[in-house]
Chains A and B, each alone.
Chain A
């Protein structure tokens, strides 16, 4: 059974710092991996999607990498801003189109 973990569980940084969020999964047979952002009491906003054949994806200040063989993905956020404060969720999808979510990393960027 696929299990997804995320480290750290919570992170507080001053504005402007570059930071890395980590995601690990136990079964490398994934269809893709997706990073989401969730604001308190809100739904999910998709940030980046990496197909199993890809190594990384970039969007603006965000960069996500995928190492399927080692079961790891990282989300890199450059020049963090207070508006980046949210919970970041990593989710892997298997070939049955089922999502398994990690527990999330709660990020707080201090002005």
Chain B
């Protein structure tokens, strides 16, 4: 089956620094990937849609300058949280589209101190 990985699984960073999270489709090519954010005991909220070779499409209320998305290849999308603050602490999950199916990564727990 289609496998999506995320790296790192956990990251702790200091306020003001930037953090990069990688999302990889391991055994298929994905022209479209999605980035979600999940707060504790809350559901997933779509942040942005990442398309290979073009700019990401951000959902309303998501700061594109704060959450930089790069989809440089058909198997890799990256989310960079710039100048992170404690309120950015969350669980970030990516998914990759293969045909009509979305396959989800295991998530990345970001803690900003």
Contacts and interface: CB of A to CB of B under 8 A. Distances in A.
Check if A and B associate: yes
A101 B36 CA distance: 10
Contacts of A60: none
A91 B43 CA distance: 10
Interface of B: 6, 32, 34, 41-46, 49, 91, 93, 95, 97, 100-102, 104-107, 109
Where chain B touches its partner, the secondary structure class is strand
B46 A43 contact: no
Among B44, B46, B93, B104, the one with the most A-chain Cβ atoms within 10 Å of its Cβ is B44
A41 B107 contact: yes
Contacts of A42: 106-107
A89 B43 contact: yes
Interface of A: 31-32, 36, 41-44, 46, 49, 89, 91, 97-104, 106
A59 B95 CA distance: 23
26 contacts: A31-B100, A32-B100, A36-B104, A41-B109, A42-B106, A42-B107, A43-B6, A43-B104, A43-B106, A43-B107, A44-B44, A44-B93, A49-B101, A89-B43, A89-B44, A91-B44, A97-B97, A97-B100, A99-B34, A99-B44, A99-B95, A100-B46, A101-B43, A101-B45, A104-B43, A106-B41
A95 to B, nearest CB: 10
Chain A to chain B: the 9 pairs with minimum beta-carbon distance, closest first = A43-B106, A44-B104, A101-B43, A103-B43, A101-B44, A43-B107, A43-B104, A104-B43, A43-B105
A31 B95 CA distance: 18
Given A41-B107, A103-B43, 17 more contacts: A32-B100, A36-B104, A41-B109, A42-B106, A43-B104, A43-B106, A44-B93, A46-B104, A91-B44, A97-B32, A97-B97, A97-B100, A98-B49, A99-B95, A100-B46, A101-B43, A102-B43
